């Protein structure tokens, strides 16, 4: 139980520090202390995994470049993905005034595009390589997110300024999600598949938590100004939304970093490297 709590508590403290930074301030002792303590606990968890004969996460798999690439890209992709969709939802509901149901319907073309493309992603990965397919997916996601940040107006304009980017980002998601999952276990032996998949899922969940906290922390001033304007009966179109746009651009950069990480690191292992990762 103590073993598991090290990793869980470490991630929770890092997320707490990031998410509360808008309230506490980035330079506040509480923010810095929370993040530092979280990092220390995560490092302690990694050390226990390294020393344990039966670890929760087998860190020997990180001797394989394709595992490193898949997990680095997985963290980054998850950070950008959750951040982008949270920001999209905030924009539709807070700025454009859409209801919860209407914002869901407005965003639906994105997941629909992803569902249509995803079945073909595996074939593309086998033919062109996992790293190339994920890089194309990250470019599409980055392009769509930058498009939203640079073109979307404060007054509702769904067909011209939101719908097209849903198709672009949805296609990027379709190419990326299944490719990330398969790349993490692409060359593992059957006995390593469960651990490889668990490792990748863990890192992606960490990325999701960090991405949500970071995007919310950056966009918080915009959301606060919009709420004040609505309560005062003022036009939201006149409210500055620079932080939210900045958070979109940040997530576009994170997507690009995920694709570049795959291109730079991903490599098929040799048999000797596989034996070393198994501890043979």
Which string of DSSP letters, residue by residue, matches 119-132? HHHHHHHHHH-HHH
Task: Name which residue leads in pLDDT, 49 or 64.
Answer: 64
In the DSSP assignment, the letter for residue 95 is I
136 has a pLDDT exceeding 70 = yes
- Tell me: pLDDT of 280 over 60: no
Q: Are 146 and 178 in contact (CB under 8 A)?
A: no
Predicted confidence (pLDDT) per residue in 222-264, tens digit: 988 988 888 888 888 888 899 999 999 999 999 999 999 999 9
Most confident of 19-33, 132-146, 177-191: 132-146
Work out the average pLDDT over 25-47: 85
Binned at pLDDT 50, 70 and 90, residue 38 comes out as confident
Q: Is the pLDDT of residue 55 over 80?
A: no
Residue 172 has pLDDT above 90, yes or no: yes
The pLDDT tens digits of the residues spanning 149-162 come to: 999 999 999 999 99
Q: Specify the length of the chain in residues.
A: 280
d(CA 174, CA 135): 12
What is the predicted pLDDT for the residue at 278? 60
More confident call, 119 vs 56: 119
pLDDT in tens, 185-208: 888 888 788 888 888 888 888 888
pLDDT band at 145 (very low <50, low <70, confident <90, very high): very high
Report pLDDT for 27: 80
Place of tokens 């392009």: 143
């Amino acid at each position: 139980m103590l073993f598991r709590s090290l990793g869980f508590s470490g991630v929770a403290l890092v997320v707490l520090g990031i998410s509360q930074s808008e309230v506490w301030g980035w330079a506040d002792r509480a923010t810095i202390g929370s993040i530092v303590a979280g990092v220390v606990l995560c490092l302690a968890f990694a050390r226990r995994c390294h020393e344990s004969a039966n670890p929760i996460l087998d860190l020997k798999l990180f001797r394989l470049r394709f595992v490193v690439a898949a997990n680095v890209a997985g963290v980054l992709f998850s950070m950008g993905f959750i951040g982008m969709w949270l920001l999209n939802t905030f924009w539709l509901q807070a700025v454009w005034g859409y209801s919860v149901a209407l914002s869901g319907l407005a965003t639906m073309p994105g997941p629909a595009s992803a569902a249509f493309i995803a079945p073909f992603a595996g074939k593309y990965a086998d033919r062109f390589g996992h790293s190339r397919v994920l890089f194309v997916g990250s470019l599409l996601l980055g392009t769509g997110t930058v498009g939203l940040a640079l073109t979307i107006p404060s007054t509702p304009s769904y067909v011209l300024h939101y719908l097209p980017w849903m198709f672009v980002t949805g296609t990027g998601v379709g190419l990326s999600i299944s490719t990330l999952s398969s790349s993490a276990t692409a060359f593992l032996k059957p006995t390593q598949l469960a651990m490889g998949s668990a490792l990748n899922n863990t890192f992606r969940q960490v990325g999701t938590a960090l991405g949500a906290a970071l995007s919310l922390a950056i966009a918080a001033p915009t959301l606060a100004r919009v709420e004040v304007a609505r309560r005062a009966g003022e036009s939201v179109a006149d409210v500055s939304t620079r932080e939210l746009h900045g958070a979109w651009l940040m997530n576009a950069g994170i997507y690009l970093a995920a694709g570049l990480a795959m291109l730079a690191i991903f490599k098929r292992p040799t048999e000797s490297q596989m034996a070393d990762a198994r501890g043979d």
